[in-house]
């Protein structure tokens, strides 16, 4: 009979602060070319219990009856395979904080797999180390049995754990049993801002270890930029020989050899194939020669300071969670390379090891972060923080060692990071000391200690532009140590929802001050979970009692890996070639740190009113990094039509690369030749009453009493009226903890989402219809005196809107423009910024040109619906049978739902198209910023409430629908 006390002892390891027992010491991860391996991924039997001790361990015995057990795919998370639910919290622990205790309700998954050894598997050695069983990632704590023998248990979810199993193996019918607990003492160290997803989520592999196998080795490959030589030394547990045929290297392990080499960099990731041959096995090596150093207060690689244009990457797949396959990892790397990203911080744990192989191969700088975060202790003033409690130090050192030992042979890894948001404490110092000792060839990063006690770089997150500039200029306070270090923004530009705004402003600072060595956007991908009813689910969608909503969707990619406008913007802002110029000549600057421009060629197009009238290529000199040259553009074609002319110059790949084909655009610029030509209209038509309460002015039909426009030619409209509201973005709403003013809540408090339109007068004179109104919310004396003045030349209709704020406006406006409803519209064509959305501080990537889209494709699918889709700088647009010209240029938004519906929606599936297409023709919009976790929009991007005027010219297109159909919607300008 089992007693409660006996069971408590049997599961005591779950709440033990120690990293585990029975595992082998950590070592490098490698794939042998001749030692056998057997993947144990695939279908496993699975049983879920509510508590750690609900079932005894008899399931681990060979012959256990698993009838009635489920099937589960490994790698995978059981909560994404129909057993239990995911939980999302940002930093709060979803259980009482009483370290190292965890709740009695502790979902526990028993996993079982029976396997045979392949016929050619070598007969098990009897020296006790003939085979190793490796787990690449299990959340959060596992106990493992093979053929009924308990091997041990481990914690450290995103770290490898190995057991020696040689003598236990049988040719057939091996029973591997793994008991996985969702919560353990280790959970206190794994409070990263992400879904809590238990399970065996990375590979399980059986590796043969022949006698005399390499076991562990350390490739030291440095580069001396002064003489162009590389020095290679491979230290191996088991002595052997190291060969690199391309370099004529053939030396014993442990012996350094220096030869001329081509160095490795993220821009030119040159790898040499080599081989480590020990008595028992042959291990392929991929050697990248590079030297990382702190020189004169800067992070240098191969003697050159590096500017990091980085992203924070969590592992994410909308169906499989953190169980990523190689193709998904490759997709991430390719998307990064194609968007000019040159660096990744592996927030906040070492990634699947294959990802680092891809970084070596394609070229990305990596900050490899340890699996450590104790952020939830901030809720109690960091009291009891494990990183400042010596009892936990072995667990911390274990995590540091498992990170460094596994990944030490990757040239892409240039910094080690101790973890994220873990406060400060002796445990971190112990980790840093150990890492510095074990691998002095790389730098150590940690953001959470603002004294920089343990680190080689001064790192911050979400510092605003002004503070970053002060740091760049050396005017920051803080410890002397910090002030002498180079500066990184390990997180900035929170990419939640629409945004981030202000990227270009950060980049200007990074480029202006040497000490600022760039940053890492938060974050790469939205962690939305594919959901049958909701599209993509976020926190709270699984009934969690504690959650942080859509804060988990803050990436540059949507959950399905479609790039968001934020990524397009980032690509433009960080492009490695600057293309500027004045009429007649173009200036090209190489902003790479290492590569010259020989891989690129230049194309040009001469465009008038967005139409290309001539195009060609320009010779591009192989400029060295930081060099710049002025190149003459050809003479504009003599027969070019009159209109708004400009040059569009692109730097494109001259030939195929491993990450993008020839012709892929790396950078571009536009050089204006002539100015925008505003529409001109001579008011000749007169407002004419037509009985039935109708007034006609040129092509416009109006309600004579209210002055509301009802049709333009044959196109029926819901009358245009002033609109200042937008469905607030995550950045408008801001984060609850932000002390600063957050405009989303202020706007709502002021009632800008419920303004009313008071009709004061409808006047017609000889050539104009004038409608005077006051637009204002209840309970406030704030208002906007708004005058609509209509004129026409008989063919076209011009609306001039004048707005005069009344009262003490202390907040900016969300938008300022008109909204008008059309009964139908599908295809949209415009001349202006495109192809994607652009707001005042997110508009760098908007290219002036002629664009086409459907109304549906104008929508940006932010996981939580919010303001989106504005096309900026529009000169004219055609849709729904109308041509609309702006004076000055305007922002165009068109949707099949109202702003109110967009504002009320919590998921995309809440939005269903209505009968009316709503157009927003905006004179101006408020900026975006990144206040969902950072600074709001900078003051120049605020839309201040001040007197404004703008005009729009409407004309019916030749082919209009037959007879007006009346769009439905709120009546306009009712008193």
**Residues acting as catalytic residues:** 421, 491
3 state DSSP class of 668 = strand
Q: Which is nearer to ligand IPT, 816 or 928 (CB)?
A: 928
Residue nearest to ligand IPT (CB): 193
Q: Which is nearer to ligand IPT, 462 or 725 (CB)?
A: 462
Q: To the nearest whole angstrom, how small is the minimum distance from the Cβ of residue 522 to ligand IPT? A: 5
Q: To the nearest whole angstrom, how small is the minimum distance from the Cβ of residue 277 to ligand IPT? A: 43
Q: To the nearest whole angstrom, how small is the minimum distance from the Cβ of residue 95 to ligand IPT? A: 19
Q: To the nearest whole angstrom, how small is the minimum distance from the Cβ of residue 463 to ligand IPT? A: 11
b vs e for 490-522, b when ≥16 Cβ sit within 10 Å of the residue's Cβ? Answer: bbbbbbbbbbbbbbbbbbebbeebebbbbbbbb
Write the binding mask 920 to 939 for ligand IPT: x where contact by CB under 6 A, - elsewhere: -------------x------
Contact of 366 with 442, CB cutoff 8 Å: no
Write the binding mask 500 to 539 for ligand IPT: x where contact by CB under 6 A, - elsewhere: ----------------------x-----------------
Q: Which is nearer to ligand IPT, 463 or 715 (CB)?
A: 463
Q: Which is nearer to ligand IPT, 554 or 887 (CB)?
A: 554
Contact of 925 with 723, CB cutoff 8 Å: no
Q: Which is nearer to ligand IPT, 222 or 374 (CB)?
A: 374
Task: Find the binding residues for ligand IPT in span 140-179 (CB under 6 A).
Answer: none
Q: To the nearest whole angstrom, how small is the minimum distance from the Cβ of residue 734 to ligand IPT? A: 12
Assess 554 for contact with ligand IPT (CB under 6 A). yes
Kindly give, in sequence order, each residue whose CB lies less than 8 Å from that of residue 133, ignoring residues fewer than 6 positions away: 144, 146, 151, 162, 163, 165, 176, 204, 205, 206, 207
Burial of 416 (0-12, 13-18, 19+ CB in 10 A): buried
Kindly give, in sequence order, each residue whose CB lies less than 8 Å from that of residue 544, ignoring residues fewer than 6 positions away: 85, 87, 88, 89, 94
Q: Which is nearer to ligand IPT, 193 or 407 (CB)?
A: 193
Q: Which residues on adjacent β-strands are paired with residue 535?
A: 531
As a whole number of angstroms, the longest Cα–Cα distance in the chain is: 106
Q: To the nearest whole angstrom, how small is the minimum distance from the Cβ of residue 850 to ligand IPT? A: 38
> 826 vs 340, 397, 487, CA distance in Å?
34, 60, 49
Assess 421 for contact with ligand IPT (CB under 6 A). yes
Nearest to 134 by CA among 163, 170, 101: 163
Task: Find the binding residues for ligand IPT in span 193-232 (CB under 6 A).
Answer: 193
Assess 90 for contact with ligand IPT (CB under 6 A). yes
Nearest to 887 by CA among 680, 631, 595: 680
b vs e for 128-139, b when ≥16 Cβ sit within 10 Å of the residue's Cβ? Answer: ebbbbbbbbbbb
Task: Find the binding residues for ligand IPT in span 175-194 (CB under 6 A).
Answer: 192-193
Assess 495 for contact with ligand IPT (CB under 6 A). no
Q: Which two tokens stand for residue 744?
A: 């989303």
Residue 433: how many CA atoms within 13 Å on its side-chain side? 7
Q: What one-character DSSP code corresponds to residue 514? A: T
Sign of the Cα torsion 951, 955, 960, 961 reads positive
Q: To the nearest whole angstrom, how small is the minimum distance from the Cβ of residue 712 to ligand IPT? A: 46
Angle at 306 between CA 303 and CA 309, to 5 degrees: 165
Assess 420 for contact with ligand IPT (CB under 6 A). yes
Assess 388 for contact with ligand IPT (CB under 6 A). no
DSSP string of 232-268, one letter each residue: EEEEESS-EEEEEGGGTEEEETT--EEEE-PPB-SSS
Angle at 475 between CA 474 and CA 481, to 5 degrees: 60
Contact of 758 with 524, CB cutoff 8 Å: no
Q: Which two tokens stand for residue 360?
A: 């070596």
Q: Which is nearer to ligand IPT, 11 or 550 (CB)?
A: 550
Q: To the nearest whole angstrom, how small is the minimum distance from the Cβ of residue 165 to ligand IPT? A: 36
Q: To the nearest whole angstrom, how small is the minimum distance from the Cβ of residue 375 to ligand IPT? A: 7
Q: Which two tokens stand for residue 503?
A: 């990227």
Q: To the nearest whole angstrom, how small is the minimum distance from the Cβ of residue 543 to ligand IPT? A: 22
Q: Which is nearer to ligand IPT, 88 or 592 (CB)?
A: 88
How many chain residues bind ligand IPT (CB under 6 A)? 14
Q: Which is nearer to ligand IPT, 58 or 451 (CB)?
A: 451
DSSP string of 370-415, one letter each residue: -S-B-GGGGGGTTTT-GGG-GGGHHHHHHHHHHHHHHHTT-TTEEE
Q: Which is nearer to ligand IPT, 348 or 757 (CB)?
A: 348
Q: To the nearest whole angstrom, how small is the minimum distance from the Cβ of residue 496 to ligand IPT? A: 7
Assess 417 for contact with ligand IPT (CB under 6 A). no
> 643 vs 616, 679, 680, 875, CA distance in Å?
21, 12, 14, 12
Contact of 196 with 182, CB cutoff 8 Å: yes
Assess 374 for contact with ligand IPT (CB under 6 A). no
Among 257, 461, 709, 863, binds ligand IPT (CB under 6 A): 461
Angle at 463 between CA 462 and CA 464, to 5 degrees: 105
Q: To the nearest whole angstrom, how small is the minimum distance from the Cβ of residue 388 to ligand IPT? A: 19
Per-state percent for the chain, helix, strand, coil, to nearest 5? 15, 35, 45
Burial of 658 (0-12, 13-18, 19+ CB in 10 A): exposed
The radius of gyration computed from the CA coordinates of the chain, to the nearest angstrom, equals: 32
Task: Find the binding residues for ligand IPT in span 11-70 (CB under 6 A).
Answer: none
Q: Which is nearer to ligand IPT, 194 or 253 (CB)?
A: 194
Residue 79 to residue 196: CA distance in whole angstroms: 9
Among 15, 360, 439, 491, binds ligand IPT (CB under 6 A): 491
Q: Which is nearer to ligand IPT, 29 or 494 (CB)?
A: 494
Q: To the nearest whole angstrom, how small is the minimum distance from the Cβ of residue 347 to ligand IPT? A: 6
Q: Which is nearer to ligand IPT, 347 or 916 (CB)?
A: 347
Task: Find the binding residues for ligand IPT in span 243-262 (CB under 6 A).
Answer: none
Task: Find the binding residues for ligand IPT in span 306-365 (CB under 6 A).
Answer: 348
Kindly give, in sequence order, each residue whose CB lies less than 8 Å from that of residue 139, ignoring residues fewer than 6 positions away: 77, 157, 158, 180, 182, 190, 196, 197, 198, 199, 201, 322
Burial of 632 (0-12, 13-18, 19+ CB in 10 A): exposed
Assess 459 for contact with ligand IPT (CB under 6 A). no
Residue ranges binding ligand IPT (CB under 6 A):
90, 192-193, 348, 420-421, 461-462, 491, 494, 522, 551, 554, 933
């Amino acid at each position: 009979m089992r007693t409660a006390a006996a069971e408590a002892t049997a599961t005591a390891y779950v709440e033990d602060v120690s990293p585990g027992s029975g595992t082998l010491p950590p070592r490098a991860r490698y794939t042998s070319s001749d030692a056998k391996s057997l993947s144990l991924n695939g279908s496993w039997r699975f049983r879920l219990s509510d508590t750690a001790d609900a079932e005894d361990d008899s399931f681990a015995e060979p012959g256990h009856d698993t009838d009635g057990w489920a099937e589960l795919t490994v790698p995978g998370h059981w909560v994404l395979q129909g057993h239990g639910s995911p939980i999302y919290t940002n930093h709060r622990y979803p259980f009482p904080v009483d370290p190292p205790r965890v709740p009695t309700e502790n979902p526990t998954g028993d996993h079982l797999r029976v396997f045979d050894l392949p016929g050619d598997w070598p007969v098990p050695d009897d020296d006790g180390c003939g085979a190793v069983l490796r787990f690449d990632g299990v959340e959060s704590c596992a106990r493992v049995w093979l053929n009924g023998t308990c091997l041990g248990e481990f914690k450290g979810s995103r770290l490898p754990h190995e057991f020696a199993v040689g003598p236990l193996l049988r040719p057939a019918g091996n029973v591997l049993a793994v008991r996985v607990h969702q919560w353990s003492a280790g959970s206190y160290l794994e409070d990263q801002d992400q879904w809590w997803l238990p399970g065996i989520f990375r590979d399980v592999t059986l590796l043969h270890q022949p006698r005399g196998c390499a076991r562990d080795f350390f490739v030291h490959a440095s580069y001396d930029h002064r003489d162009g030589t590389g020095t290679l030394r491979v230290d191996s547990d088991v002595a052997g020989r190291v060969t690199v045929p391309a370099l004529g290297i053939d030396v014993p392990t442990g012996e350094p050899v220096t030869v001329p080499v081509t160095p490795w960099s993220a821009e030119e990731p040159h790898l040499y194939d080599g081989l480590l041959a020990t008595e028992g096995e042959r291990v392929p090596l991929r050697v990248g020669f590079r030297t990382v150093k702190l020189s004169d207060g800067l992070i240098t690689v191969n003697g050159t300071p590096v500017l990091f244009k980085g992203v924070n990457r969590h592992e994410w797949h909308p169906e499989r969670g953190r169980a990523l396959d190689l193709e998904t990892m490759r997709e991430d790397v390719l998307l990064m390379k194609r968007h000019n990203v040159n660096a990744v911080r592996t927030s906040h744990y070492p990634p699947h090891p294959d990802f680092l192989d891809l970084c070596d191969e394609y070229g990305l700088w990596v900050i490899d972060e340890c699996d450590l975060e104790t952020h939830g202790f901030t809720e109690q003033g960091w009291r009891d923080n494990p990183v400042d409690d010596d009892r936990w130090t072995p667990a911390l050192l274990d995590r540091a060692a498992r990170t460094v030992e596994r990944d030490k042979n990757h040239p892409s890894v240039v910094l080690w990071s101790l973890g994220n948001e873990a406060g400060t404490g002796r445990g971190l110092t112990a980790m840093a000391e150990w890492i510095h000792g074990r691998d002095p060839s790389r730098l150590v990063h940690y953001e959470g200690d603002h004294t920089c006690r343990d680190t080689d770089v001064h790192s911050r997150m979400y510092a605003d532009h002004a503070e970053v500039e002060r740091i760049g200029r050396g005017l920051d306070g803080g410890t002397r140590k910090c002030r002498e270090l180079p500066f990184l923004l390990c997180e900035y530009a929170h990419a939640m929802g629409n945004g981030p705004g202000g990227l270009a402003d950060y980049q200007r600072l990074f480029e202006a001050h040497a000490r600022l060595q760039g940053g890492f956007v938060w974050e790469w991908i939205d962690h939305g979970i594919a959901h049958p009813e909701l599209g993509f689910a976020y926190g709270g969608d699984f009934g969690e009692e504690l959650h942080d909503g859509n804060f988990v969707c803050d990436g540059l990619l949507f959950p399905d890996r479609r790039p968001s406008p934020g990524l397009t913007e980032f690509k433009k802002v960080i492009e490695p070639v600057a293309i500027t110029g004045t009429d007649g000549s173009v200036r090209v600057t190489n902003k790479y740190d290492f590569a010259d421009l020989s891989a690129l060629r230049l194309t040009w197009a001469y465009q008038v009113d967005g139409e290309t009238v001539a195009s060609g290529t320009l010779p591009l000199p192989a400029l060295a990094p930081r060099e710049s040259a002025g190149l003459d553009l050809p003479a504009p074609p003599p027969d070019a039509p009159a209109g708004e002319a400009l040059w569009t110059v692109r730097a494109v790949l001259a030939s195929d690369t491993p990450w993008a084909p020839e012709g892929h655009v790396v950078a571009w610029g536009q050089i204006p030749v002539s100015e925008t030509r505003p529409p001109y209209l001579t008011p000749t038509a007169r407002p004419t009453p037509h009985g039935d309460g109708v007034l006609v002015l040129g092509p416009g039909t109006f309600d004579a009493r209210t002055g509301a426009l009802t049709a333009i030619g044959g196109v029926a409209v819901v009358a245009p009226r002033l609109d200042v509201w937008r469905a607030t973005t995550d950045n408008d709403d801001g984060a609850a903890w932000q002390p600063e003013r957050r405009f989303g809540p202020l706007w709502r408090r002021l009632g800008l989402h419920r303004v009313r339109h008071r009709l004061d007068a409808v006047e017609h004179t000889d050539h104009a219809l004038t409608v005077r109104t006051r637009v204002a919310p209840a309970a406030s004396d704030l208002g906007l005196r708004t005058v609509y003045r209509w004129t026409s030349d008989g063919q076209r209709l011009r609306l001039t809107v004048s707005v005069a704020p009344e009262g003490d406006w202390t907040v900016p406006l969300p938008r300022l423009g008109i909204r008008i409803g059309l009964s139908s519209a599908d295809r949209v064509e415009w001349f202006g910024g495109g192809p994607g959305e652009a707001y005042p501080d997110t508009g760098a990537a908007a290219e002036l040109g002629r664009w086409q889209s459907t109304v549906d494709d104008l929508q940006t699918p932010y996981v939580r619906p919010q303001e989106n889709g504005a096309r900026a700088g529009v000169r004219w647009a055609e849709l729904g049978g109308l041509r609309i010209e702006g004076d000055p240029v305007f922002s165009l938004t068109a949707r099949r739902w109202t702003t109110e519906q967009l504002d009320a929606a919590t998921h995309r599936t809440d939005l269903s198209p209505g009968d009316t297409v709503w157009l927003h023709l905006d004179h101006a919009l408020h900026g975006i910023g990144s206040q969902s976790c950072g600074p709001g929009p900078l003051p120049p991007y605020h839309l201040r409430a001040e007197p404004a005027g703008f005009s729009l010219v409407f004309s019916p297109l030749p082919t209009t629908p037959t007879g007006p159909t009346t769009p439905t919607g709120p009546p306009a300008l009712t008193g």
